[in-house]
A and B are shown apart, each in its own frame.
Chain A
């Protein structure tokens, strides 16, 4: 299956989280912090740190490391609101 990440098609496997699909695609950072514009991606990987937030199908601030990828998911990365 595939998901769309900022308009780009990214493959994902059944059972993978959004974060795992991004990591497998070579991404290591997909958000910047609001004060220092520091790049962030995975840190804890288990839903504790909130570093890996993304927008999925229009819903903001979802932990990519917890959300299972579903075929056709539209993921938007980027800044912090």
Chain B
């Protein structure tokens, strides 16, 4: 069976840059990615896309072209990463025709990216309420508008491309509501030329589409009979508690909401990588100056080691590519990483999540969508002695459902007052028959040809 020199997990900005760098140095590289098309969430696109909806599209086309020098194992969802010599990635391929396969490599580069961080509020599970990234994925990936009348709420600069994307897709956007009031902490970002230009572009687009942008406001409830019909928007105090008398309703069929991003760390945990606190204090994979994790022959790049955006992801991906092939990286790359990390820290400082969101909850607000656990049961579990997310799960089923606590994990951790635990030994649902079948031959033709 083929053993690759390097398997890169994830084909977003970090993974593609890692693969490009490692392949250019002669390594035999596999890029293992869950999606059918390369690009990850950031470069999500339609087949034949001309890039007009994208930032940094030229960077992507260059990285994508480099895939011809590697085995791009698309549509491979890694459900378990087993450390060893070589490491083994247990994957599932296909959907209705799902089947198991394995990929082996001496070295791994984890570039598993991040997903939207959600905060619960009354009515957040009504159809029509989407994550900000979900609304963006419909537009970038399918050219579809998420809805006709939309509201965007949450925190952070990502809300801006989501709002302008919705408007470009034909939706009427009734407002962007950022719970934070950005202050001088945004200065490092405002003085970064690339980000300032990008922000100016969004500001112009908001003006052109007449989209109101309000800071210090949040959607604190969604309402509707079987689907979203309106949202309540309120002005917040500094701690994000709604100011009395400021609530108003907006009629809409779509709400795109996001409060930052949560890195996907399951595979890092499988491999024994130590975690540390990222720019915002939540868990990320710990890496050294060469992007090496604490696990032997495992590197990490991109959001996996701290949410910092596509440029930081590309830089750290390239650095991991150099390190995994035993090469010294150019000093310029190290300087770019230092600068991008400072910007990422500024981003986290300017757009934090404040505790007052908990005051938006009512007794019957679902915390765990999968197991339908309301806030009152979470409070009962905490009163009964739950001290961490594991105790909360055992006492209330919060985080026990199909998503394995990915959606409610951040909120649950905040409510119980303990860190989120990304320990999911099985990172993707796997059928018992496939588990029982044990080891499986690779299905990729080029890899298979060497067996």
Residues of chain A having any CB pair with chain B under 8 Å: 13-17, 20, 23-24, 28-29, 33, 35-36, 38-51, 53, 56-59, 61-63, 65-68, 73
Nearest CB of chain B from residue A47's CB, rounded to whole Å: 7
Asked whether B127 lies within 8 Å of A67 as measured between CB atoms, the reply is no
B144 located at the interface, meaning its Cβ lies under 8 Å from any Cβ of chain A in the complex? yes
A24-B144, A45-B138 are contacts. A50–B370 as well, Cβ < 8 Å? yes
Q: Which of A20, A46, A49 contacts B144 (CB 8 A)?
A: A20
In whole angstroms, how far apart are the Cα atoms of A50 and B47 in the complex?
25
Q: Chain A residues near B116 (CB, 8 Å)?
A: 44, 48
B429 located at the interface, meaning its Cβ lies under 8 Å from any Cβ of chain A in the complex? yes
In whole angstroms, how far apart are the Cα atoms of A16 and B143 in the complex?
10
Asked whether B41 lies within 8 Å of A46 as measured between CB atoms, the reply is yes
How many CB-defined contacts (below 8 Å) exist between A and B? Answer: 112
Asked whether B130 lies within 8 Å of A45 as measured between CB atoms, the reply is yes
Chief secondary structure at chain B's binding surface:
loop
Asked whether B134 lies within 8 Å of A44 as measured between CB atoms, the reply is yes
Q: Chain A residues near B141 (CB, 8 Å)?
A: 17, 20
Chief secondary structure at chain A's binding surface:
loop
Asked whether B96 lies within 8 Å of A59 as measured between CB atoms, the reply is yes
Asked whether A29 lies within 8 Å of B137 as measured between CB atoms, the reply is no
Asked whether B96 lies within 8 Å of A40 as measured between CB atoms, the reply is no
Q: Chain B residues near A14 (CB, 8 Å)?
A: 47
A16-B142, A28-B128 are contacts. A45–B95 as well, Cβ < 8 Å? no
B439 located at the interface, meaning its Cβ lies under 8 Å from any Cβ of chain A in the complex? no
Asked whether A43 lies within 8 Å of B96 as measured between CB atoms, the reply is no
Q: Chain B residues near A29 (CB, 8 Å)?
A: 127, 226-227
Residue of B nearest to A61 (CB): B429
Q: Which of A13, A15, A46, A56 contacts B96 (CB 8 A)?
A: A56
Asked whether B134 lies within 8 Å of A39 as measured between CB atoms, the reply is no
Asked whether B403 lies within 8 Å of A49 as measured between CB atoms, the reply is yes
Q: List 6 A-B contacts (CB under 8 A).
A: A20-B144, A23-B144, A38-B125, A45-B137, A50-B403, A56-B96
Q: 12 additional contacts, CB 8 Å, given A15-B142, A50-B402, A68-B36?
A: A20-B138, A20-B144, A23-B138, A39-B127, A43-B134, A45-B133, A46-B41, A46-B131, A49-B131, A59-B98, A63-B95, A66-B95
